[in-house]
Structure 1
Amino acid sequence: LGDIFWLLYPPLKITNIPEVQIFEQPKQRGMRFRYRVEGRSAGSIPGEKSSENNRTYPSIQILNYCGKGKVRVSLVSKSEPYKPHPHDLVGKDCKDGIYETEFGPDRRVIAFQNLGIQCVRRREVKDSIVQRITRGINPFNVPREQLLQTEEYDLNVVRLCIQVYLQDENGQYTRALMPIVTNPIYDNRSPNTAELRICRVNRNTGSVKGEDEIFLLCDKVQKGTVPPVYS
């Protein structure tokens, strides 16, 4: 009976190994990627729980660890293998498209409040990827040949990649935890990935017999790609 019990109810796996978890995902739609030439702020990536009255941001928590560390955030491609993305992160503590900062033992949850996405043009993709290679920004060690296949990069969607480094006995940040990625973030400028919105409707009531003609005016919808569903 004892053997059967443990087969039906295996013991919970308890580990003391430090690991990174997503505390709040970024909001996937509604943000516009900005070009450098626009000369305007790229804004801040909101969290998925963010609202007009309560602004939240993407955040992580580090389990089974209390001490100092360093966190690096970069952009990677939507699909595996996760390649460094040519777009840049911009904002406080960002340099060359990468965000880096240190944290102390009191930081249970680390939120990324000032991260914006600055996009590059298709002709600038190769130069941006070469810069990533030169700086050693390749969290998932994708072969160089694949990184340079620039036509495969989707410029309308990115993911955040979070890498955490903990202090060793010498106080150096050499203990790298497994990198993690967030849900995809889509550029609101692109018709294929934008947040759909009904701008105007000609009527909001109808006969129970049906057959009423209704016109919906929407923005950023490509013809034939979005079927209407009524419920």
Structure 2
Amino acid sequence: MNMNQYYDLDNGKNVMFMNDASSTSGYSSSTSPNSTNRSFSPAHSPKTMELQTDFANLNLPGGNSPHQPPMANSPYQNQLLNNGGICQLGATNLINSTGVSFGVANVTSFGNMYMDHQYFVPAPATVPPSQNFGYHQNGLASDGDIKHVPQLRIVEQPVEKFRFRYKSEMHGTHGSLNGANSKRTPKTFPEVTLCNYDGPAVIRCSLFQTNLDSPHSHQLVVRKDDRDVCDPHDLHVSKERGYVAQFINMGIIHTAKKYIFEELCKKKQDRLVFQMNRRELSHKQLQELHQETEREAKDMNLNQVRLCFEAFKIEDNGAWVPLAPPVYSNAINNRKSAQTGELRIVRLSKPTGGVMGNDELILLVEKVSKKNIKVRFFEEDEDGETVWEAYAKFRESDVHHQYAIVCQTPPYKDKDVDREVNVYIELIRPSDDERSFPALPFRYKPRSVIVSRKRRRTGSSANSSSSGTESSNTWMP
């Protein structure tokens, strides 16, 4: 036995201990029983034993801790490990590459759990150098040089307003979804370009919701061989063909309310199967998908959609690899909807009214919503600035079948005008501040009392002028 010493950091002094050369640990856990000055190895010093006791009694939060929400819907549930196994992170289990499950829901101490970090630290995605386009798993450029990262750019946005048609209206020819800058000649269409990439690729166009990165229940259709083909629509691009994809002759089919859940669920299921590269989904995945679809279908805006553009590379084994993050177009509003369609006054029952207001006026209009419409009267100066405005009075019951409004004109700001005043009338939809175009002219007529008073003044001034002329003529030689 050899006496050695070590420095105790807790007490700030050297502590003697006996070194047993035959011990495999290099430390002796005991001294002579007759010794009055017991010494310990570093592994069995009083401070070390005290720390080990405290750590063993340490209570750690279980799997149901409110500070650690479950990761049931995390996109990183299945991660590829260094050794090729799969680490699944769930709400109650940790599964290593050998398939052994470690329950964590009721674990309160990790003192006796052995973890080999090579089994639980997810490895980076295994991508061959030829397929690594400068993206980390979070989608950002790895070298900080975004100029060399493939990306999609929308060249031509779709029109802001387009008529959504029901299937029963799709017989014969129908209008196509044009570009925002389209004219009678030339016409434009939604167009997207793939930048910073020089291989063959596929650009996909789908119909999505405006408030979620999720498919819409309506259908984006293209007419092919006397039949309507539903989205998604794919166009191949390459160095020879060019990298601009123009989607022409597309229409939007309005899905009836009773079929919303069915159509949306089918689209979401097809998309998930495609993303996971599987033939079918598990029972649990289908249940979660149904619950998610029910929530989305309940709040879906049926009069507003947008286009989603995606780019893919098709591998030799047939796998589709995303090249760039998807991009989304501006919102497309249903032209024929009372909530999003164009506002227009077709005809007025009369173009004039008194300055005192309360004259009955009937407006024939394009489709409006009785809960979301106002009739505005306004006056502009020579510079086009609004100098007066007021709103007509009417009730919801005064809106007749969404195509006529019976209202009372508002009084003009000046009740004593002695001439007609030219103003304008327009419709306003408060939900999106949409206004009818063009605004129609309307004239306010002065009160009859003011007109009579003006006539008397005009007549008296004329009489005095004529009498003065006669008097002057009398004095002429």
- TM-score of the pair, normalised by structure 2: 0.40
* Counterpart pick for 1:148 among 271, 294, 310: 294
| 1:84 aligned partner | 215
Which secondary structure does the structure 1 equivalent of 2:338 belong to? Answer: coil
- CA distance, structure 2, for counterparts of residue 229 and residue 168 of structure 1: 63
Mark the structure with the bigger radius of gyration. 2
* Counterpart pick for 1:163 among 294, 307, 310: 310
Shift of the alpha carbon at 1:72?
1.5
Kept in 2, the 8 Å contact 1:83–1:140? The answer is: no
- CA distance, structure 1, for counterparts of residue 373 and residue 197 of structure 2: 47
Alignment of 1:54-133 (within 5 A): 54-80=186-212, 82-92=213-223, 95-105=229-239, 106-133=241-268
Which secondary structure does the structure 1 equivalent of 2:269 belong to? Answer: helix
- CA distance, structure 1, for counterparts of residue 302 and residue 338 of structure 2: 13
Q: What residue ranges of structure 2 are gaps of 5+ in the alignment?
A: 1-143, 277-287, 379-385, 387-477
| 1:46 aligned partner | 178
Q: Note the alpha carbon deviations across 1:110-139, whole angstroms, 9 max, x for none.
A: 111121111110000111122113312699
- Label 1:140 to 1:108 Cα distance change in 2 as closer, same or farther (>3 A): same
Which residue identity is paired with 1:166?
Answer: K
Shift of the alpha carbon at 1:37?
2.1
Kept in 1, the 8 Å contact 2:235–2:245? The answer is: no
- CA distance, structure 2, for counterparts of residue 54 and residue 83 of structure 1: 33
| 1:3 aligned partner | none
Q: Note the alpha carbon deviations across 1:155-201, whole angstroms, 9 max, x for none.
A: 11111111111355778642332111111111112111001223246
Which secondary structure does the structure 2 equivalent of 1:132 belong to? Answer: helix
- Label 1:177 to 1:14 Cα distance change in 2 as closer, same or farther (>3 A): closer
Q: What residue ranges of structure 1 are gaps of 5+ in the alignment?
A: 1-11
- CA distance, structure 2, for counterparts of residue 139 and residue 84 of structure 1: 14
Q: Which has the higher helix share?
A: 2
- CA distance, structure 2, for counterparts of residue 16 and residue 162 of structure 1: 20
Which residue identity is paired with 2:337?
Answer: S
- Label 1:121 to 1:86 Cα distance change in 2 as closer, same or farther (>3 A): same
| 2:473 aligned partner | none
Which secondary structure does the structure 1 equivalent of 2:306 belong to? Answer: strand
Q: Note the alpha carbon deviations across 1:135-160, whole angstroms, 9 max, x for none.
A: 1269999x723223221111111111
Kept in 1, the 8 Å contact 2:205–2:231? The answer is: no
Identical aligned residues as a percent: 26
Kept in 1, the 8 Å contact 2:204–2:311? The answer is: yes
| 1:4 aligned partner | none
- TM-score of the pair, normalised by structure 1: 0.76
Which residue identity is paired with 1:147?
Answer: T
Report the RMSD for the aligned CA atoms in angstroms: 3.2
- CA distance, structure 1, for counterparts of residue 198 and residue 324 of structure 2: 14
